[in-house]
Amino acid sequence: MRTIFLLIASNIFMTIAWYGHLRHTSAPLFKVIVISWLIAFFEYCLMVPANRWGYTNGFNGFQLKIIQEAITLIVFSVFAMLYLKEAFHWRYLVSYAFLMGAVYFMFKK
């Protein structure tokens, strides 16, 4: 469970680093890049231990990646709706359902 919590926290930082500047398009690109790298530093401080602990406690690399991708979409969806004020479309639910299918098959034995 520690792995999942760290992956969620790291994805929050990465989503902010990658997409937080979209509401501030007048900011100079160089400044946005530097600030994004500073935010992403904390993402790495969480992602690396999450993957290490997950790998040493039963997840394989493929499973860690698919978990991370599923978490990324959930975190991004909340971010896009609340921060970017973007509408959520039914097509997104369909695509997420396919991704959850991928998660299911990744862990099926």
Domain that includes residue 94, residue range: 2-107
Is it the case that residue 2 has pLDDT exceeding 90? yes
Work out the average pLDDT over 93-107. 86
Is it the case that residue 17 has pLDDT exceeding 80? yes
Neighbours of 10 (CB within 10 A): 25
Nearest to 50 by CA among 37, 65, 36, 72: 65
Confidence band of 96 (pLDDT split at 50, 70, 90): confident
Which H or E run contains 87?
A: none
Residue 99 has a pLDDT of 83
Q: How many domains does the chain have?
A: 1
Work out the average pLDDT over 28-37. 96
As a 3-state breakdown, the chain gives helix, strand, coil percent values, each rounded to 5, of 85, 0, 15
Whole-prediction pTM: 0.85
Residues 62/106, Cβ–Cβ less than 8 Å: yes
pLDDT in tens, 54-74: 999 999 998 999 899 889 999
Mean model confidence pLDDT for the chain: 93
Which H or E run contains 82?
A: helix 61-82
Confidence band of 104 (pLDDT split at 50, 70, 90): confident
Query: Cα separation of 93 and 67, whole Å?
Result: 17
